[in-house]
Structures are given as C-alpha cells and as structure tokens.
Amino acid sequence: MKTSITFISFIIFFLLFSSQLNSNRANQTNLDFTKDKIIRLDKPFVIPTYNVNDRQEDCKKIEEKIRNQEIILKAYQDMQLLEYADKNGLDYEEYDKAVDELAKWIKSGKPYEPNKLSNEQVENFFNSTTPSGDGSTTTLVMITRPEDGSIWAPDGTIGSDGYPVMAMIIDAHGNKTIEYSGIEQMYGNKYGNTVGKTFFESGIAHEKVHSEQFKNEGVNNSPGQHRRFEMAAYEKGIEVLKRKLEELECDKVLGSIEYNHKIDFDYEAFSQTVTITGSVPFKLEESAEGTQGKQKVKGKGTVNLSLIWTAEDCVGRSDSPGEIEFEGEIINENEEKFIDIKFDEKWYQNAELTVTCPEVTKSVPMKIPPPVKYENMKFKFKDGEKITRPFAGMGGNGNYSWTLHLVE
C-alpha cells in the first residue's frame, strides 16, 4: 500500500528533525508533553472553499447583471429615441432618461421590437416623471470625469448632502490610486468575493472606455455622442462579465466532490494530523455522450492539505494546495442512477512545515505523498451521498471521505 510510503516519510522526517530538537533543547530536562496541547492544536481549520452551489449562485448573479446590461445596451441601440431627442433639441441627460425608461419597459417583459415603437410610446418615455435609477443613494456606480478622464467610485459613505461620497480610484494618467483596492474589497463585501471582483472589473472596463473617449474626443453633451460612448462602454463591461461566466463554466458544472479526509498519527513521542478538505467541481465531458447510455464526467480542482505535527513541546503546521483530478461516468443500473468515479489524487509536492519549539522556530520542507488511489467509487446520483474509507494501521487512524454534491 502507498500509505506506508507516506508514513515512512513522516518517520524519516521525525528522525531527522528530532535530533535537531534534542540538541536545541538539551538544557531542558522536563519534557512537558501533554495531551491537552494536542487537543488544543487539533482544531479543524476553517478553509474557504468554493463549493458548487456557491458557484452556481455566483453564476446566476453574473448572468443577471449581463441580462440587465444587455437590455440597457438594447435601449441605447434604438434609433427612435435618438431621433426624437435630436429633433426636439434635447440634451444628453434628457435622452438618457428616456433610454432608462425604455430599458425598464423591456425588462418588465412588455413587447418590444427595435425601432418599432409608436410615436406615443416614444413621447411617453421622454415625458415620464419616475425618477431614474433605482432611487437608492448607496448603489455602487462608478463615474469618469470628462475633464481629465479620472475614474471615481463611491467609497461606501454618504456625505452631508445625502449623496454617496466619491473617491478617485484611477487618476488622470490611468494609474490606480490608493483607494482602488479598498473599493474593490467593498464590492467583494457587498456581492461576495467572486461576483464582487467581477462586477468591479466590469465597471472599471466600462469606465476606462469613457476615460479614453473623453481624452481623445472631449465631450459635447449631445445625445448622439453620449449614445455612442455608452454603447462602446457597455460592450466592454459586458465582455468582462461574459469572460468570467465562461471561466466559471457555469452551464457545464454538474456537481462537486467534497473532500474530508482526516488521519491522526499518535505516538508517545509525537503526534500528527493530516486533513484534506475542499470541494472539487466536475462537469460533463463534451462529445462523450451517448456511448451505451454512459456519460463521462471529469473533475478538476484544488483542495487544502493541512498537517499539524506535535512532538514534545514543539508544534509544526503547514497548509498547502493539492491538485485533484478525477474521471467518472454516470451509469444506470436497474433504473437507478449512479456516478462511478475513479480517483487518482496527486499532490506530490513540498510542504513547508513551520515547526515552533520554545527556543527555536524552523521552517522544514516536507514531501507529502498522500496515499489515495481508489477505483469503483460508486455514489448514488443524489446530493449528499457519501463514501467513507477507513484508514487504520501504522499508528494512524482516520477516514477518507468523499461527499457528492449536485448542482441544485
């Protein structure tokens, strides 16, 4: 079994390192090795994992943003609004308000065909008295200053005038200012890390288009120029959102395997706990559909490998990523659906173990070859299905555990 290799490496490590420990603490006589210490250190880590349902939620939020922005783009594209504004000598703000109204109209699902609005509808959009925007003073809306092309965003506070306080995030030369990362973080706090970062980047992409437009052309406040500027900017912003959606593979992810392996090694002289936790998404393999009713799946992702090591009054720990790849197929047996997965887990890599003793702290490189290669792991095709394999022997004790999660 491969477990023995793992274990031997622990032993080798222990033997190598314990001689150093002993020499470092030769003047100490009291070996204060208590069980309490191990228990205290043995708390499970809280590791942020990106599970498949969080991912799916993020996908939905990004999709909704794309839908909304595409509607705004569509409203700008309508020529009738522009013609009306030009004919009546209106400025870009009056035009923009009508675009807003048309966007609301399309969003509400009312029938709309480009450039086929009645004259009455067009007039109504221009004469609407509903306030623009969503009426909130805290929405995260970025702006670009026409004077110098600098990009500004609300810093999350409201000024004495009741309006959001704006902070410059990109200066007139296109450089990020000190506020930049703070405001990006604010987006993360509001929408969650993945979505927040994506919305922020999309907003920046939109504003950067304006920044260039203002620098190259200046502004004349005409509806025609405003329309052209906004269309180009929305296209760029939407591009960023779509790229992220593709990266998340939102439409292909079927589910994930949640890892929860935990093995304790306990000896008189030292103790070690290895945990492997995280969530690895899998998706349907394209083009592999239809062979005898089997559908192949492929999983790929990163888990966290943690190691806590204690010896006498020294403790060491490391956290390192492990790359997981697996293959499987969905099978039907007696009208029941299963997913059969072949795990071949590789994370042969160096972990950096920081070992702390009363009088010395050391960083020690350590190879971790985890002992997992399992075939014929057949889960019922049902959310929450779990397979557990015990680990015992060599002084170690614990479980390997895999839980199937399906996209809701």
Residues 212-231 that bind Zn ion (CB under 5 A): 230
Cα–Cα distance measured from residue 73 to residue 53, given in angstroms and rounded to the nearest whole number: 30
* Comparison of 235 and 385: residue with beta carbon closer to Zn ion: 235
Task: Give how far the C-alpha of residue 305 lies from the chain's centroid of Cα atoms, to the nearest Å.
Answer: 19
How many residues touch Zn ion under the rule CB under 5 A: the total is: 2
Q: Return the closest-CA partner of residue 281 out of 63, 54, 61.
A: 54
Asked if 72 is part of the footprint of Zn ion (rule: CB under 5 A), the reply reads no
Name, in order, each residue with C-beta under 8 angstroms of 258's C-beta and a sequence gap of 6 or more: 49, 51, 278, 279, 402, 403, 404, 405
End-to-end CA, the chain: 38
Instruction: Please report how close the Cβ of residue 92 comes to Zn ion at its closest, in angstroms.
Output: 11
One-letter amino acid for residue 276 of the chain: I
Q: Which residues contact 378 (CB under 8 A, 6 or more apart)?
A: 338, 339, 340, 341
Segment contacting Zn ion by CB under 5 A, of 174-182, 215-223, 233-241, 313-321: 233-241
Number of H helices, E strands in the chain: 9, 13
233 binds Zn ion, rule: CB under 5 A:
yes
CB of residue 151 vs Zn ion: minimum separation in angstroms?
Answer: 11
* Nearer to Zn ion (CB atom), residue 153 or residue 233: 233
Residue closer to Zn ion, measured from CB, 213 or 318: 213
From residue 389 to residue 408, what is the string marking binding to Zn ion with x (rule CB under 5 A)? --------------------
Q: Among residues 209 and 257, whose Cβ is nearest to Zn ion?
A: 209
301-360: which residues touch Zn ion (CB under 5 A)? none
Q: Which is nearer to Zn ion, 100 or 230 (CB)?
A: 230
C-beta closer to Zn ion: residue 142 or 263: 142
Residue ranges with strand state E in 129-269: 143-144, 151-158, 164-170, 253-266
Least Å distance, CB 219 to Zn ion, is 12
User: Considering the complex, what minimum distance in angstroms separates the CB of residue 206 from Zn ion?
Assistant: 5
Q: Residue 326 carries which side chain, given as an amino acid letter?
A: F
Kindly state whether residue 73 participates in binding Zn ion, applying the rule CB under 5 A: no
Give the C-alpha separation, 389 to 130, whole Å.
Answer: 63
- The least CB distance from residue 230 to Zn ion, in Å, is 5
Residues of this chain that interact with Zn ion (CB under 5 A) are 230, 233
